[in-house]
Chains A and B, each alone.
Chain A
Amino acid sequence: MRKRGTPPNRALRARRPPEISPTVRSLPLAFSLSSDRSMASISGTVTATSVRPRLTSRAPVVKGFSGLKSVSFSIQRNGFPSVRLQAAPRRLRFQVSCAAKPETVQKVCEIVKKQLALSDDTPVSGESKFSTLGADSLDTVEIVMGLEEAFGISVEEESAQSITTVQDAADLIEKLVEAKSS
């Protein structure tokens, strides 16, 4: 199970963050409502939380998110103490650190579209779930085989079961390609 966008800085998480608005997305379950079709994606319930911080207008921002050093809140009338955040690393913290390259995602979209015989104007992106695109279990194994062929990799059965979106597939491919070349 992987939590997307979880800030790696543990000290930051221990303190109360300013105005975080979490968006919770549920990934498809084994037997989704498109019935047996998502047989291959058996992994139980996985909740992905992407956290996007939103600073209030009262908090003076030293720099943008990428260079966030510290934020301090003035003491409010109702007496809340000020909150200081630790200095953060310079790179963008609230992004998935191991997201696949756009070209990989694009290639996966092409293979998926071909296997499912989707028209060119059908929107398929990283977020697209195989089950909502109409893939049944045979489609999913064919897609996995197509990906193995296209990228010269070998996907373990257990890993194949955890793939539910195009992004999942792309991420796994890059991980395997990297492991193969190292």
Chain B
Amino acid sequence: MSWLLRRNMLPLHSNSLARRPFASPLPLPPASLPSPRETHIWYVVPDELKDASLLYQYMELLSPCERQSVLRMNGERLQKGALLARALVRTTLARYTDGRLSPKSFKFQKNRFGKPEVEWDKYDLWAPPPLQFNISHTSTMIACGVTLDLPIGIDIEEKQRKTSNNILSLAHRYFSPVEVAYLKTLADPECRQSEFIRLWTLKEAYVKALGRGFSGTPFKDFTIRLEASNSKQVTGELKSDAPSIVVEAVDDPGILMNRWQFALFELNNSHYTAVCMERDVKNPADGENNSLKLEVWRTLPFVEDECVTETDAVKNIIR
């Protein structure tokens, strides 16, 4: 395997990390690629990072340009967040290359609208997986979503987030009429606030999945709502018709943009999380549930990974 890049992947005993702060990190456990309708989410909780030497290790993974950007952030807390975000993207992507690519070796470019994507090198005897990713962060969590060859957008917001402006004022200004009407039906202010935040994350995730940016996809031009789905008949049984999240253009109500599928859930009991992914039309599901599948890991790169998919850390999932 000598032609493959393994320079930055030297194994080390974990107890020597403290004594040798600039030593190479532990190798990342390889992860299986996401399947066609799957989004993998890796998230970091910055407060869990207690070891300062880890920050140096993460810094080593970044390109010079990324390092400069991190250092330009205003204050230590924001710098740490920016650093963790880049480290999370790089380490997450590296996991899916079966040890062939180190986190440091990744290069990034922006599409013509400014959305970051991986710039893959050409290799002689190996085709890198066509991974697509998107990140989102708050001061208390950073999340990275990965798919195999499907556009993805992810957005997280703290559940407790309060807005300075009145919820309905914000909604009138930025949301579609259908969404405003929905929020108005909620009498309880706390309920209205949380629904606003959840709707915001869904709209953000959609715009980010499209990759055309805020101005390319103004919030006011589309509605995201729940739609009662048609029950599917599978071997004579009726499947439950749980409502699904759909998106439609304000100018074209009733024409659902079926190309996009969503998931909305609570992460780590602290954040509302929305994922928007393009539906995989190349691999249509025959008769089975066509909704977005999730696999979620909590991570502190090079220290600890924990799959939390079936746990309490991922709950209240709506798709």
Contact = CB atoms under 8 A, between A and B. Distances in A.
B7 interface: no
B135 A36 contact: yes
A99 interface: no
B223 interface: no
B169 interface: yes
A142 B162 CA distance: 11
A132 B135 contact: no
Interface in B19-69: 66, 69
B75 A39 contact: no
B110 A30 contact: yes
B164 A30 contact: no
A142 B85 contact: no
Q: How large is the interface on B (under 10, 10 to 19, 20 to 34, 35 or more residues)?
A: 35 or more
B170 interface: yes
Nearest to A148: B173
Interface in A114-142: 114-115, 122-123, 128, 132-134, 136-138, 141-142
A146 B166 CA distance: 11
Interface stretch (B93-101, B180-188, B206-214, B311-319): B206-214
Contacts of A114: 164
B138 interface: yes
A136 B164 contact: no
A101 B307 CA distance: 54
B165 A146 contact: yes
Contact of B213 (A34, A39, A128): A39
B290 interface: no
Interface string A33-54: 1111101111110000000000
Contacts of B70: 33
A146 B200 CA distance: 19
A29 interface: yes
Contacts of A110: none
B218 A157 contact: yes
Contacts of A132: 72-74, 78
A6 interface: no
Question: Which one of B72, B86, B115, B169 has the highest number of Cβ atoms from chain A below 10 Å of its Cβ?
Answer: B72
Contact of B215 (A122, A142, A158): A158
Interface of A: 29-37, 39-44, 114-115, 122-123, 128, 132-134, 136-138, 141-142, 145-146, 157-158, 161
In order of increasing CB-CB distance, the 6 nearest A-B pairs are: A30-B114, A42-B213, A33-B69, A161-B215, A35-B135, A42-B215
8 contacts: A29-B110, A31-B115, A36-B135, A36-B208, A40-B214, A43-B215, A132-B73, A146-B164
Interface of B: 66, 69-70, 72-75, 78, 81-82, 85-86, 110, 113-116, 134-139, 142, 155, 157, 161, 163-165, 169-170, 173-174, 200, 204, 207-208, 213-216, 218, 220
